[in-house]
Amino acid sequence: MRRRVFLVTGIVLVALVLAVALVSLFWTPFPAADTTGGRLEGPGAHHLLGTDKLGRDLLTRLMIGARIAVAVGLGAVALGAVLGGLAGLLAGFANRWLDDTLAALLDILIAFPTLLLAMLVVAARGASLASAIVAIGLAMSAIVARLTRVLVKRVLAMDYVTAARTSGVSWPRIVTAHVLPNIWPTLAVNLALQFGLAVLAEASLSYLGLGPPPPNASWGRLLQEAQSTVLTAPTGAIAPGVLLVVLVVGVNLLADGLRDVADPTRRGHR
Amino acid sequence: MSLLTVSDLTVSSADGRTLVDGLSFSVGRGHRLGLIGESGSGKSLTTLAVAGLLPPGLRASGTVLLDGTSVLGAPERSLNRLRGRVAAVVFQEPSTALDPLMRLGHQVAEPLRRHQGLRGAALKAAVLASLEEVALPARVARAYPHEVSGGQRQRAAIAMALACRPALLIADEPTTALDVTVQAEVLALLDRLATAHEMALLFVSHDLAVVGKVTDEVVVLSAGRAVRTGPLRSVLADPGDAYTAALVASARRLDEALGGAL
Amino acid sequence: MILEARDVGFRYPSGAPVLDGVSFGVTPGRSVALVGESAAGKTTLLRLLLGLRRPTSGAVLFQGAPLPTGHRAAREFRRHVQTVFQDPYSSLDPRQKVSRIVAEPLRAVGFTDHEPRVSAALDAVGLPVDAADRYPHEFSGGQRQRIAIARAIAVEPTVLLADEPVSALDVTTKVRIIDLLAELRATRGLTLVLVSHDLAAVASLCDETVVLERGRVVEQGPTGAVLGSPRDAYTRKLIASIPRLP
């Protein structure tokens, strides 16, 4: 019962952020580059959440930030899932020698700090939304690969796979019929958690100035910009922080709830 | 008074299913009792309840008295006084009772140190004596659990259980995971140790023939209820209720198949 | 001989041989038991017989010829030789319906009429037809083993390799599955290779018995002779170890 509440809360929180991101594509209270407002206005009727030090509407910037957060989350998860999933699948099936090599490689990649990796990517391609997605997605793929490898190995050790082999089922078919359906629920829950981490990572990158350049402000950049004026205009720091928490907590609750719903066998007895 | 008295023990799950249903039995000092049941009979839950190890989420009612102390709902501290000295448990899978990262000698030493206060050379001597008692060579003391065979692991687990000379040994399917030849050795070992230390034995198994190797008195469990109680020979000769009759008939079928070939 | 191991040896690149000079065979319609305890090499031998691994010496022969290599060539062999495993939990994919599980070998060896064959197989093992629409976790251990047997017999194989098929089951269930295997042998003329340490199952099901110890055959012959008057010391110890009813 409590799990249901978690799941529904998660869905509502994530849907809220998604809706804001969608709406921002068609409508924002002010144009993104509009600087007609006064500097550091407090919340009011004209600017609902006030303005920043250049006079830009905070609500507008937050809505665009939601778009970036969702884009980074989805983009990085897609990249991480495809790259990591394929590498993990390969390692899971590999013979001992190749598997050891891949496992060592993954360990190195995971030990490599995400921020350092991000700086390398930004140095190579310049700071942009795409750079942020590539950097975070690459870091994520190592983690996804390691998990996939373990899950694949576990499934391959099951007798139902041996049974399929002794019936002459081909390896590609064993992957689609047995391996993927059995690793997917665990993987999906993990990817949902990674989504939350990716949004946080992008916020850190932007905070350090490695994220998408202005005027496209992610929540992390909003936080950074509000840093110097946090005492005089606290809304500028509080609002993006709250949204960040809402999205990350929402995704985590959603992932947690999915764990139970995804597996029909768990509701029965064994 | 009996060493172990279980009366009207009922265990139910969080969603209200009754798993053990009004079970009563007792084991006197130095006596042996076989608890027989198939999967889902509630025999393992009964073992856990007696040892005060019921997982949270299960509700238990009735009374379990170990040496006069109530086990159900007792605080962990008073249970710890009972564990090891009054009752010790040996499980089906010895690996679950052993720490994979600790040498077997250390694991056997642990209860000796805690309960008997042994240290240094005396402790070392006691460990070797414990291993010898379960017919394990001294070199096993330096081995990790994965370095020895399943039978040797179970012997080590038995040595740990016996370290504090419990008045009652609870053995839950202790030989089910073992090879037949190893099973015969471990059954003989349990039989010898129980006799030597005048130790009571609660032996839990699904196999009538295995139970028959260590005890003559049995309780047959089905769906959490005791459906038949009595000496094994009379249960075999006159099973009574339908469940026991089916169980005995099956056991007989297998035994006769063997008998016909031998 | 329909299935035969001829002087089969197997060893990992580093390490002692797992199997050494194992020879035995089974003629069509007969049943042979491979008996032994852990480390006897039973599991490895089974994998060799199934063509999942190649012996490092000697050969496994099916109908007199070495096991075919290659996916397509092996199809005929796969259609004739099917397997039942010990653990009815890990042998059925928890995410597939029973109909799909039982149909898997049918699809793999090229049958097209899945539905009637699945129903027939479920019926043959004593499961209701509506079992097809359910998932494995809805069944008990014994029923799951029936599903596994249905999958194995769906393609109407000539040889059934059963790896400890009753070891994980309760006594009453064990007897029923032994009866089912005996019935399938009788009605379908199945050749049975039973890998087991359970001598009661062996005595109930097998004409011949091969006793393995540490990768070697220590004794083989008619089951009655091997169990009744064992010549080898290990076989005698094994038989003496079986607990009997008082």
- How confident is the model over B39-80, as pLDDT tens digits? 889 998 999 999 888 888 898 999 999 998 898 888 888 888
Q: For residues C37, C40, C44 and C48, what is the CA-based torsion angle, rounded to 10 degrees?
A: -110
Task: Give CA–CA dist A3/C68, Å, rounded.
Answer: 53
Q: For residues B70, B41, C171 and C134, what is the CA-based torsion angle, rounded to 10 degrees?
A: -150
Spell out which residues of chain B touch residue C241, defining contact as CB-CB under 8 Å.
Answer: 180-181, 183-184
Task: Give CA–CA dist A34/A92, Å, rounded.
Answer: 53
Q: How many domains does the structure of chain B reveal?
A: 1
User: pLDDT per residue over A185-199, tens digit each?
Assistant: 889 889 988 988 888
Task: Give CA–CA dist A147/A85, Å, rounded.
Answer: 9
Backbone φ and ψ for A51, nearest 5 degrees, come out as -130, 165
Of A168, A181, A268, the CB nearest to C109: A168
C90/A170 touch (CB, cutoff 8 Å), yes or no: no
Task: Give CA–CA dist A27/A20, Å, rounded.
Answer: 10
* C62 part of contact set with chain A, CB < 8 Å: no
The pLDDT assigned to A268 comes to 40
When the pLDDT of each residue in chain C is averaged and rounded to a whole number, the result is: 92
Asked if residue C140 has pLDDT above 80, the reply is yes
Could you give the angle at the alpha carbon of A92 between the alpha carbons of A89 and A97, nearest 5°?
Answer: 125
The pLDDT assigned to C22 comes to 95
Confidence band (pLDDT; 50, 70, 90) for A262? low
- Residue whose C-alpha is closest to residue C196's, from C24, C59, C32, C52: C32
Q: State percent of chain C over pLDDT 70.
A: 100
Q: Is B254 helix (H, G, I), strand (E, B) or coil?
A: helix
Spell out which residues of chain C touch residue B260, defining contact as CB-CB under 8 Å.
Answer: 203
Q: List the alpha helices (DSSP H) in chain C.
A: 42-49, 74-80, 98-109, 114-124, 141-153, 171-188, 199-205, 223-228, 233-241
Contact C91, C148 (CB under 8 A): yes
C109/A170 touch (CB, cutoff 8 Å), yes or no: no
Domains of chain C and CATH, by start: 3-241 (3.40.50.300)
- Here the CATH number for the domain that contains residue B246 is 3.40.50.300
- CB atoms inside a 10 Å sphere around CB B229: 14
Mean pLDDT, to the nearest integer, of A242-254?
88
Whole-angstrom CA distances from C214 to A15, A114, C219 are 62, 52, 13
Which of C172, C205, C239 best probes binding to B when mutated, by most B CB atoms within 10 angstroms?
A: C172
Strand partners, C31: C192
Mean pLDDT, to the nearest integer, of B180-192?
92
Domain annotation covers residue B128? no
B182/C237 touch (CB, cutoff 8 Å), yes or no: no
Nearest CA in chain A to C140: A270
Asked if residue C68 has pLDDT above 90, the reply is no
B236/C246 touch (CB, cutoff 8 Å), yes or no: yes
Mean pLDDT, to the nearest integer, of C209-232?
94
- CB atoms inside a 10 Å sphere around CB A155: 19
ipTM of this complex prediction, to 2 decimal places: 0.89
Q: State percent of chain B over pLDDT 90.
A: 63
Task: Give CA–CA dist C215/C178, Å, rounded.
Answer: 27
Mean pLDDT, to the nearest integer, of C132-139?
93
* A139 or A1, higher pLDDT: A139
For residue B210, the distance in angstroms to the closest alpha carbon of chain C comes to 6
Q: State percent of chain A over pLDDT 70.
A: 91
- Residue whose C-alpha is closest to residue A241's, from A49, A55, A75, A80: A49
B residues 1-60 lying closer than 8 A (beta carbon) to C: 38-39
Asked if residue A18 has pLDDT above 50, the reply is yes
Rg (Cα) of chain C, in Å, rounded? 18
Spell out which residues of chain C touch residue B184, defining contact as CB-CB under 8 Å.
Answer: 240-243
> Which range marks the domain in which residue B181 is found?
4-95+167-261
For residue A184, the distance in angstroms to the closest alpha carbon of chain C comes to 11
* B242 part of contact set with chain C, CB < 8 Å: no
Q: Where are the domains of chain A?
A: 2-26+55-267
* B210 part of contact set with chain C, CB < 8 Å: yes
Rg (Cα) of chain B, in Å, rounded? 19
Superfamily name with CATH number, domain A2-26+55-267: MetI-like (1.10.3720.10)
Q: Lowest-confidence range among B111-125, B180-194, C123-137? A: B111-125
Strand partners, C160: C82, C192
Confidence band (pLDDT; 50, 70, 90) for A215? low
Q: How many residues does chain B have?
A: 262
Task: Give CA–CA dist A48/A59, Å, rounded.
Answer: 7
Mean pLDDT, to the nearest integer, of B105-110?
91
- Residue whose C-alpha is closest to residue A216's, from A133, A132, A126, A128: A128
The pLDDT assigned to C164 comes to 92
Domain annotation covers residue B244? yes
Strand partners, C33: C194, C209
- CB atoms inside a 10 Å sphere around CB C118: 23
The pLDDT assigned to A85 comes to 93
Spell out which residues of chain A touch residue C78, defining contact as CB-CB under 8 Å.
Answer: 166-168
The pLDDT assigned to A207 comes to 78
Domain annotation covers residue B218? yes
Spell out which residues of chain C touch residue B206, defining contact as CB-CB under 8 Å.
Answer: 170-171
Strand partners, C35: C196, C211
Of C200, C204, C243, the CB nearest to B212: C243
